Amino acid sequence: GAVVSQHPSWVICKSGTSVKIECRSLDFQATTMFWYRQFPKQSLMLMATSNEGSKATYEQGVEKDKFLINHASLTLSTLTVTSAHPEDSSFYICSASIAEHTQYFGPGTRLTVL
Residues that bind another protein in the complex, under the rule CB under 8 A: 4, 6, 32, 34, 41-44, 46, 49, 91, 93, 95, 97, 101-108, 110
Our CB check for another protein shows the closer of 80 and 103 to be 103
| C-beta separation of 19 from 13 below 8 A | yes
| Gap between the Cα atoms of 30 and 16, Å rounded | 32
Shortest Å, Cβ 62 to another protein: 12
Query: CA 31, CA 73: separation in Å to the nearest integer?
Result: 9
Nearest Cα residue to 36 out of 114, 113, 104: 104
Q: How far is the CB of 8 from another protein (least distance, A)?
A: 13
Closest distance of CB 97 from another protein, Å: 7
Give the nearer residue to another protein in terms of CB position, either 60 or 86: 60
β-bridge partners, 96? 33, 104
Residue 18 or residue 102: which is nearer to another protein going by CB?
102
